[in-house]
């Protein structure tokens, strides 16, 4: 199986620099794009809202001025008199004859009307309709004039105010229809007729088709309350009165009569930024829109430029990082090669890197280490012969086996007690315990072999006999070690050290004694030593436990009672009992 592919430090450094650079550029691009979007959208919305408001006011002014103009006809006394002359006549032929006869009088009044208002360039037709729906006068021929809601007698008699409406004819031409009731007396409840003026929509189109402030894709148009487009579209031919509008601003105006501004899809299904003006007084909705792509094109251009600049900066930073990484990694590679040579046994190698940074200091320390190792090897070789000559003497020791009593005294929980002590305090802690315990043992004919961590191993050479007295002496010594606890804790308190509890264990059996030629202290080992160490953990704090073999030797000793506490198993077929020793009062 192949191991992991090593990644050099220069590659790591380049990767880190590139990652940091890309993250920084990414965050900058995101924040720039985000806030630019917000700013541009706010400015565009302000522009569109302003345009919708201005154009809506202009259209209202057009409608208002037209209505005021047509009211001149409604208040003309000659027009009222002419209409009243037709009132008593019921015969259709007589009415037709009167219409032809009186036409010249109507023309005179219309000319006077035009002179009063200064002329109407967009005027297409003027009609006077009686309250019975009879067309009494029309600038155009009356032959092709069809009946409509304006000639409905019920509509005419109930008409109270002037109104204006954009309509279309059978030839798909749009017209501005203005109608005003004619009263014989302003106090009359019913109109005697209605004056109808038909004009083209040129003045309205000029307002809507002006793209000032709307860019290349901007458009303003009108819709009626039936969700129908009533003005021309820049993008769809013959869309007026043929295009249904179900966009968000239309719904917003129809449901809440409120203006709307924001992003939405227009009647073409294209995302636009738009603002609407809900002109419920005219039963119209004005919309001013710009394509999303055009509005946010500066942001897109900015993002592309930031990304391009970011790529250039990242490439430049990556190249610089690669160059610097080579400068850094070169001495490290030199150190690595030197370390490999030292590991291979060549201690003559030196790095000699003369930089004044941490790498230079590391190089100096490495060279000093290699030099000291080389010197140490020379000294080791010089002493090798001496060590070989003394080896036989050091390893020659006498071994013999005897039956002895072996004992362990071990502190309870020493690790926890010394966890918060300093090294000096820990040394003092063990010194007080071990020296005090060893003194008591020596005074009672015990031989201290060695300390094993926080425990003392000792034995009694005189127990290699059948006499009971040495075994009784063992029990007395162990009890005196336990009784010395109060004195030991007093010494520990004087040193501001924690008090202790400890356990003592003892057993009897064959022990191998090693007498080392170069040492005055014997060492003991064997199964009996191991068993004594194991059963120590079965003792309660400040108590003595003994193995079954020792129990058989001391069970008849006066002054002590013995209680079996456990059955200890050395292996599957080798078990012995463990007894707790209690000194009688």
Residues 329-379: pLDDT tens digits?
777 777 778 788 877 777 777 777 777 777 778 878 887 887 788 777 777
- Could you give the maximum distance between any two Cα atoms of the chain, in Å? 170
The SS3 assignment for 340 reads helix
pLDDT, tens only, 424-479: 899 899 999 999 999 999 999 899 988 888 899 999 988 888 888 899 999 999 99
Numbers of helices and strands, H then E, in the chain: 15, 17
Q: Residue 280 in contact with residue 257, Cβ under 8 Å?
A: yes
> Could you tell me which residue, 358 or 284, shows the higher pLDDT?
284
pLDDT of amino acid 58: 92
Give percent of the chain with pLDDT exceeding 70.
90
Q: Is the pLDDT of residue 77 over 70?
A: yes
End-to-end CA distance of the chain: 73
pLDDT of amino acid 456: 92
Provide the CATH topology of domain 396-583. Alpha-Beta Plaits (3.30.70)
pLDDT, tens only, 136-195: 888 876 555 566 667 777 777 778 888 888 888 776 788 888 888 888 887 888 888 888
**Distance between CA 445 and CA 466 in Å, rounded?**
17
Beta partners for residue 407, in sequence order: 458, 506
Q: Residue 449 in contact with residue 457, Cβ under 8 Å?
A: yes
pLDDT of amino acid 501: 93
pLDDT of amino acid 459: 92
* Domain boundary assignment for the chain: 75-203, 396-583
Closest CA to 174 of 122, 101, 251, 211: 122
Identify the weakest region by mean pLDDT among 323-327, 424-428, 559-563.
323-327
Give me the mean pLDDT over the 302-322 stretch. Answer: 78
**Distance between CA 350 and CA 348 in Å, rounded?**
7
Identify the weakest region by mean pLDDT among 18-22, 50-54, 433-437.
18-22
Q: Residue 408 in contact with residue 504, Cβ under 8 Å?
A: yes
pLDDT of amino acid 518: 52
pLDDT of amino acid 220: 93
Q: Which top CATH class is 75-203?
A: alpha beta
- Encoding tokens for residue 83? 């209409």
Q: Is the pLDDT of residue 541 over 90?
A: yes
**Mean pLDDT score of the chain:** 83
Write down the residue that tokens 């192949």 correspond to.
Answer: 2
Report the relative pairing of strands 284-291 and 271-279 from DSSP bridges.
antiparallel
**Distance between CA 219 and CA 216 in Å, rounded?**
9
Give 38-41 contacts, CB < 8 A, sequence gap 24+.
Answer: 40/295, 40/296, 40/298, 40/299, 41/273, 41/295, 41/296
Q: Residue 294 in contact with residue 267, Cβ under 8 Å?
A: no
pLDDT of amino acid 1: 45
Q: Is the pLDDT of residue 2 over 60?
A: no
Question: What's the Cα-to-Cα distance from 222 to each of 207, 219, 241, rounded to whole Å?
Answer: 11, 10, 11
- Encoding tokens for residue 290? 């710009």
What Rg, from alpha-carbon coordinates, does the chain have? 59
Indicate the pLDDT class of residue 260, thresholds 50, 70 and 90.
very high
**Distance between CA 560 and CA 583 in Å, rounded?**
5
Report the relative pairing of strands 544-547 and 502-516 from DSSP bridges.
parallel
Report the relative pairing of strands 261-265 and 560-571 from DSSP bridges.
unpaired
Q: Residue 541 in contact with residue 412, Cβ under 8 Å?
A: yes
**Distance between CA 321 and CA 358 in Å, rounded?**
19
Closest CA to 176 of 237, 145, 222: 222
- Encoding tokens for residue 285? 């909705």
Q: Which residues of 38-51 are buried (b: 16+ CB within 10 A; e: fewer)?
A: eebbeebbebbbeb
**Distance between CA 134 and CA 23 in Å, rounded?**
81
The SS3 assignment for 189 reads coil
The SS3 assignment for 503 reads strand
Q: Is the pLDDT of residue 85 over 90?
A: no
134, 138, 143, 147 alpha-carbon torsion, rounded to 10°: -40
Q: Is the pLDDT of residue 234 over 60?
A: yes
The answer for 377, left when phi > 0, alpha when psi is -120 to 50, beta otherwise, is alpha
Q: Is the pLDDT of residue 516 over 80?
A: no
pLDDT of amino acid 285: 95
Which DSSP helix (H) or strand (E) runs through 325? helix 297-343
- Vertex 564: Cα angle to 563 and 569 (nearest 5): 155
Closest CA to 583 of 504, 496, 476, 497: 476
Indicate the pLDDT class of residue 395, thresholds 50, 70 and 90.
very low
- Encoding tokens for residue 469? 């007295």
Q: Is the pLDDT of residue 8 over 90?
A: no
Beta partners for residue 504, in sequence order: 409, 544
Q: Is the pLDDT of residue 487 over 90?
A: yes
Write down the residue that tokens 């409840």 correspond to.
Answer: 189
> Could you tell me which residue, 284 or 573, shows the higher pLDDT?
284
């Amino acid at each position: 199986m192949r191991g992991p592919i090593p990644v050099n430090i220069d590659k790591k450094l380049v990767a880190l620099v590139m990652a940091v650079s890309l993250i920084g550029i990414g965050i900058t691009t995101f924040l720039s794009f985000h806030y630019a979007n917000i700013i541009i959208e706010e400015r565009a919305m302000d522009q569109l809202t302003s345009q919708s408001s201005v154009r809506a006011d202009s259209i209202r002014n057009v409608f208002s001025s037209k209505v005021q103009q047509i009211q001149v006809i409604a208040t003309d006394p000659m027009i009222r008199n002419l209409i009243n002359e037709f009132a008593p006549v019921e015969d259709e032929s007589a009415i037709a004859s009167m219409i032809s006869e009186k036409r010249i009088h109507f023309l005179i009044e219309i000319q006077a009307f035009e002179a009063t208002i200064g002329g109407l360039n967009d005027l297409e037709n003027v009609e006077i309709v009686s309250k019975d729906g009879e067309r009494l006068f029309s600038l155009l021929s009356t032959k092709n004039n069809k009946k409509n809601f304006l000639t409905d007698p019920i509509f005419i008699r109930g008409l109270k105010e002037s109104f204006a409406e954009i309509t279309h004819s059978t030839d798909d031409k749009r017209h501005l229809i203005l109608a005003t009731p004619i009263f014989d007396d302003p106090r009359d409840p019913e109109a005697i007729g209605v004056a109808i003026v038909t004009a083209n929509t040129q003045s309205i189109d000029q307002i809507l088709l002006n793209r000032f402030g709307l860019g290349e894709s901007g458009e303003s148009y009108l819709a009626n309350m039936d969700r129908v487009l009533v003005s021309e579209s820049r993008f769809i031919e013959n869309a007026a009165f043929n295009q249904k509008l179900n966009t968000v601003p239309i719904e917003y105006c129809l449901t809440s009569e409120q203006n709307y501004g924001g992003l939405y899809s227009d009647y073409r299904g294209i995302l636009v930024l738009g603002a609407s003006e809900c002109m419920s007084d005219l039963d119209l909705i004005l919309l001013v829109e710009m394509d999303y792509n055009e509005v946010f094109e500066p942001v897109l251009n900015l993002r592309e430029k930031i990304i391009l600049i970011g790529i250039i900066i990242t490439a430049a930073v990556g190249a610089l990082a690669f160059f610097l990484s080579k400068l850094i990694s070169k001495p490290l590679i030199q150190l690595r090669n030197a370390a490999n040579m030292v590991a291979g046994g060549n201690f003559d190698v030196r790095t000699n890197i003369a930089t004044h940074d941490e790498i230079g200091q590391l190089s100096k320390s490495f060279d000093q280490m290699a030099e000291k190792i080389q010197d140490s090897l020379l000294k080791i070789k010089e002493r090798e012969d001496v060590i070989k000559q003394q080896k036989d003497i050091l390893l020659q020791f006498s071994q013999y086996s005897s039956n002895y009593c072996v004992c362990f005294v071990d502190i309870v929980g020493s690790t926890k007690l010394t966890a918060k002590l300093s090294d000096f305090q820990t040394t003092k802690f063990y010194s007080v315990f071990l020296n005090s315990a060893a003194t008591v043992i020596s005074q009672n004919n015990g031989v201290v072999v060695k300390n094993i961590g926080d425990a003392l191993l000792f034995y009694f050479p005189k127990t290699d006999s059948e006499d009971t007295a040495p075994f009784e002496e063992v029990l007395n010594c162990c009890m005196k070690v336990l009784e010395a606890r109060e004195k030991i804790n007093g010494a520990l308190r004087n040193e501001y050290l924690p008090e202790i509890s400890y356990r003592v264990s003892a057993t009897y059996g064959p022990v191998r004694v090693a007498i080392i030629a170069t040492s005055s202290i014997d060492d003991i080992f064997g199964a009996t030593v191991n068993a004594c160490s194991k059963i120590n953990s079965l003792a309660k704090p400040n108590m003595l436990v003994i193995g079954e073999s020792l129990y058989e030797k001391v069970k008849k000793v006066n002054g002590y009672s013995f209680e079996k506490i456990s059955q200890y198993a050395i292996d599957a077929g080798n078990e012995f009992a463990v007894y707790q020793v209690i000194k009688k009062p």
